[in-house]
Copies of this chain bind each other. A is one copy, B any other.
Amino acid sequence: MSVLENIDKLFAGEPRSVARAITLAESGGPKAAELMRSIFPRTGRATVIGITGSPGAGKSSLVDKLALFYKNEGLRVGIVCIDPSSPFSGGAILGDRIRMSTLGMDKNVFIRSMATRGNLGGLSRSTVDAVAILDAAGYDKVIVETVGVGQDEVEIVKTADVSVVVLVPGMGDDIQAIKAGIMEIGDVFVINKADREGVLRTQKELESLLSLAHRPDMWNPPIVPTVATESKGIEDLAAAIERYAKYTAMADGEAIADRKHAIARWRLLELLRERLLADLLEKNGAEKALEKLSANVAAKQIDPYSAVEELMSRDH
């Protein structure tokens, strides 16, 4: 039975239906588009929390503990993990299972890793779709966690209602390296592993960086120290997230509207890009032509731009 026939089960939050719907969305194509259109009216109720930061900052532990906190509050939590490294090994799926068993495999917690899996770069699109599906399925909090911290990941986290940036003490270089991006992205900052040396220095550095930022929404991002492995600071983090979510809901001024517009525009462009490419490659013989031209480019018999010209002109 198809996902679309069982859409009521999806709306009821039945985990297998949710999983199937996400798989369908990942695959793309007209069925996926139909699914996304039908769930759209049900979206917009969840608080979507984006969590990013360097590998090694302890994001996974933090996300697990935050999810556990919500679960114990009687809420339903969805976790979408963006892991560009996983397609190669299938490691992500195993990872999901381990985390599921920590968090308790029940109707109230759902974990899904998104990976490229050799698709045509629709990771951003399918991640945002997965979030919408969890939202429509009645999950109260949807946490989007990135393993990588690249361009796409930053864009995806920016689509969340609240974006959390996780740092660790003593990573001065880290702050320097990502400071420009951080200003824009973080609505809440976490200094995890706050039992280590250098917390105060990191906090001071971060504060001085933040004082230079001019946020269009006039929000002053809080800095929350945590020790995720010992479940310390998790309640404070949840409270900080809640404060920002309420702030934007109340303010709902121009800055928020601009942010929503920018997110919508980015989403449309992502969808367009994927759709246009899929349309082109669906044409008779296009895949074959692509393979042949790839071989020619690899052999330096043709430059990539001329090869693209050839692919584009196949139907003109």
Contact = CB atoms under 8 A, between A and B. Distances in A.
Query: What bracket does the count of chain A residues touching chain B fall in?
Result: 35 or more
Interface string A43-84: 010000000001111101000000000000000000000001
Interface string A65-108: 00000000000000000001110110110000000000000000
A255 interface: no
A180 interface: yes
Contacts of A121: 151, 269, 273
Copies in the complex: 2
Nearest to A256: B298
A174 B54 CA distance: 8
Query: Does more than half of chain A's interface fall in helix, strand or loop, or is it mixed?
Result: helix
Nearest to A310: B268
A288 to B, nearest CB: 12
A285 interface: no
Contacts of A146: 150
Contact of A148 (B33, B88, B148, B273): B148
Contacts of A12: none
B174 A55 contact: yes
A273 B274 CA distance: 7
B154 A36 contact: no
Contacts of A276: 273, 276-277, 280, 312
Interface of A: 33, 36-37, 40, 44, 54-58, 60, 84-86, 88-89, 91-92, 116, 120-121, 123, 146-154, 171, 173-174, 177-184, 257, 260-261, 263-265, 267-269, 271-273, 275-277, 280, 290-291, 293-295, 297-298, 300, 303-309, 311-312
